[in-house]
Copies of this chain bind each other. A is one copy, B any other.
Amino acid sequence: MKVNEIQIKGEKARSAATILATATTSIKNKALHRMASALRQHKNEIIAANALDLEAGKRDGLKESLFDRLLLTEDRIEAIAAAVEQIITLQDPVGVILNGQTRPNGLQISKVQVPLGVIGIIYEARPNVTVDAAALCLKAGNAALLRGGKSAFHSNMKLVEVLAKAVEESGLPVHSIQLVENTDRALAEEMMKANGLIDVLIPRGGAALIQSVVKNATVPVIETGVGNCHVYIDETADGNMAQDIAVNAKTQRPGVCNAIESLLVHEARAESLLPEILESMVKKGVEIRGCEKTCALFPKAKMAQESDWGEEFLSLILAVKIVPSLEAAIDHIRTYSSKHTEAIVTQNVTSAEKFLAEIDAAAVYVNASTRFTDGFEFGFGAEIGISTQKLHARGPMGLQALTSSKYIVRGNGQIRS
């Protein structure tokens, strides 16, 4: 008989979730304290487990860029432990009364924030996601079923062993945090169909992983992270501000979802602004792929292909287009945007308000860098991801995104006539 790991762990997670749902903030915080301490206490074992993954990676020809993501050092473990302690300071989202009323018939109805239940996280190389996701789920009263990448298998096994033991010692269920040990693709697919066992799936990783979960899951999914973001420099933009924002949005950290992939410039400002902005981009190592007019103004630019406008480069490549109007910029963004973050640089209040109202994205900016779309920058104190869908949560997700609600109704014998 085939042992079904998802079924078995899913049921254990459901039982744990039932207990976690009514756990007090004090006990959850105690568990988080113990988790942080345990990470520090077992750092040598964790580093040893990580070394096995690094070795296996070398043997299997893992891509160079993935080694850094995979690596755990003493400093990194300390940073991971400190991040767990940071979650202790955040307000517990469970039990918050969102609203309430007394109906004409005397029924008292309150809408109360409650945990989601069992959260499945499907992710890739970074073992810090194991700790981060487990800690955030626990603070919001959820059981976590984690399915990490094969390349981090030994690290994840050790981390979950250490965390689950710490949770158990604090008086909460040991199955509050579980790892799917079989890293076959088939088990990820079983998670995606585990309706009744898993309440919500959150994929964290690259576009291919996220699309696979969105396409295959029958369990509700929170889609995260793909960002084809734009900065548009309007006719009335302050030139220095435009340059600072464009360069920051592209180059401050090009590999993340809130960095821009395209720059749009109003034609009235192209000649005066664009060469200087693009020159400073090039100095920072950016490859420019421009429209015809851009290439005429700035000979270092390569000619952009149609596919460049829709691409999330996640690297030092920038597509640049000169547009005849604000309306044309809005049309371009509507066509190619992944609805993550979009910004306008302008001094004209009508243009600003039009852009804010008409652009459909998780976050829309006037006169600031797109790089601020982030749970920490938004003051949530933590981030489980950035939702690019419209259901449930949109934009940076803090602890609240890991909750649902239920209606509590108190009567004294009311029946319906």
Q: Name the residue on B nearest A396 (C-beta).
A: B407
Whether the pair B390, A200 counts as a contact (CB closer than 8 A) is yes
Whether the pair B395, A406 counts as a contact (CB closer than 8 A) is yes
A116 CB-CB contact with B under 8 Å: yes
For the complex with contacts A220-B220, A367-B411, A391-B404, 12 further pairs of A-B residues with Cβ separation under 8 Å are A18-B358, A114-B360, A116-B391, A215-B218, A364-B406, A366-B410, A367-B410, A368-B409, A368-B411, A368-B412, A368-B413, A395-B406
Q: Output the least CB separation between A222 and chain B (Å).
A: 7
A162 CB-CB contact with B under 8 Å: no
On chain B, the residues within 8 Å of A200 by CB distance are: 390-391
Whether the pair A195, B222 counts as a contact (CB closer than 8 A) is no
Report the 8 A-B pairs with minimum CB-CB distance, sorted nearest first: A368-B411, A248-B415, A390-B404, A371-B416, A392-B392, A363-B407, A391-B392, A368-B414
**Residues of chain A from 137 to 171 with CB closer than 8 A to chain B in the complex:** none
Complex-state Cα separation, A409 to B249, whole angstroms? 15
Whether the pair A245, B101 counts as a contact (CB closer than 8 A) is no
Of A21, A117, A363, most buried by chain B (CB within 10 Å of CB) is A363
On chain B, the residues within 8 Å of A252 by CB distance are: 415-417
Tell whether A404 pairs with B394 under 8 Å between CB atoms, given A366-B410, A389-B220, A409-B368: yes
Whether the pair A220, B391 counts as a contact (CB closer than 8 A) is yes
On chain B, the residues within 8 Å of A364 by CB distance are: 406-409
Complex-state Cα separation, A408 to B244, whole angstroms? 20
Name A residues whose Cβ lies closer than 8 Å to a Cβ of B: 18, 21-22, 101, 103, 107, 109, 114, 116-117, 195, 199-200, 214-215, 218, 220-223, 238, 241, 244-245, 248-249, 252, 334, 352, 356-358, 360-369, 371-373, 377-379, 389-392, 394-396, 404-417
On chain B, the residues within 8 Å of A409 by CB distance are: 363-366, 368, 372-373
Q: Name the residue on B nearest A216 (C-beta).
A: B218
Q: Name the residue on B nearest A248 (C-beta).
A: B415
Complex-state Cα separation, A410 to B218, whole angstroms? 38
The DSSP consensus for interface residues of chain A is: mixed
On chain B, the residues within 8 Å of A379 by CB distance are: 101, 103
On chain B, the residues within 8 Å of A21 by CB distance are: 357-358, 360
Q: Output the least CB separation between A404 and chain B (Å).
A: 4
Q: Output the least CB separation between A173 and chain B (Å).
A: 15
Whether the pair A407, B362 counts as a contact (CB closer than 8 A) is yes
Q: Output the least CB separation between A364 and chain B (Å).
A: 6
Whether the pair A372, B416 counts as a contact (CB closer than 8 A) is yes
Of A363, A416, A417, most buried by chain B (CB within 10 Å of CB) is A416
On chain B, the residues within 8 Å of A222 by CB distance are: 391
Whether the pair A117, B390 counts as a contact (CB closer than 8 A) is yes
Task: Jot down 5 A-B pairs with beta carbons below 8 A, ordered by A.
Answer: A220-B223, A244-B415, A252-B415, A366-B410, A394-B404
On chain B, the residues within 8 Å of A218 by CB distance are: 214-215
